[in-house]
Amino acid sequence: MPASFVKTASLWSVFARKGGQKMMEKPTTILSISFFLLLFSTVGSSLLASRLAGDNAGYGSIVLGTSGASLIFLVQVALYRMIHNRLYFAIVFGAALLLTLAWIMFCLFMPILWMDSLPVYAKAVVVCILLLLCVVNFLKGKSDFLRSWSSRPDRLRFGNLDPVKGTIAWEKVLLSLKLEPDLYIPGLPRRLSTVAGVLLVGFMLIGLNFRMAFPVFSAFAWGIPSAVITAFVFQLIGQKMGEARKVREIQAELMVELQSASGKQLVKKLA
């Protein structure tokens, strides 16, 4: 992936992490940002579908998009209400926030599904490719985290783990692992991922410039790269779920419910 997008996605990942662990005193801010991003991307996707395939497609897109965006937001709200300074749920909440970024990119891809000029079988193939990329990137993100965790036997030392209070500076633990996410496409050597990323961004820019003259070509030119970038976001989500798994294991070993070292609430002993 190009460095610019990796940096952007990484910043959102940091935002999601801090949203889960340090910004809980401002829930309306972080949830409002997610809500408006979901809303604007859904409306934008509907308008684009309407332009490409007519008003019926725009209506169908807004119904489908609203359902998906609402589900994501409700999950985020539910997870937030479960945190109460508990590290495990804070991490899962961070993963849910990353779904907002994935949804934004998916909304650039979704208008393709409403185009009458594209055969149904072609749409099915494109969707299957998207799902495959998302699944393999999710699994890769999770396995990369677990492998990096296993390679650093002293990882908890960086987090100043206090087994009595049940606190840990989890962000310091993550920094010690030195994770470097990168887009994974089966069969594509990692050294070529940067070249592929540049080409994807190039196609997106071309598509945006030709959106008035060649709307169908434009939809594919930015829709397909958007689908690939959506898969990359799922790699970040996979890493978050790898974190959640390890936190569960640490809690089971110490018999405490971990909280962030910056938290103010007392640890709750597990039964």
pLDDT tens digits for 1-24? 444 444 445 544 555 555 444 444
CB within 8 A of 204, min separation 6: which ones?
221, 222, 225, 226
How does pLDDT run across 250-259, given as a tens digit for each residue?
888 877 787 7
- Examine the pLDDT at 267 and tell me if it is beyond 50: no
Q: Flag whether pLDDT at 94 surpasses 80.
A: yes
268 has a pLDDT exceeding 50: no
Tokens for 257, please give them.
């419910």
Residue 261: the pLDDT is: 55
Q: Structure pTM? A: 0.80
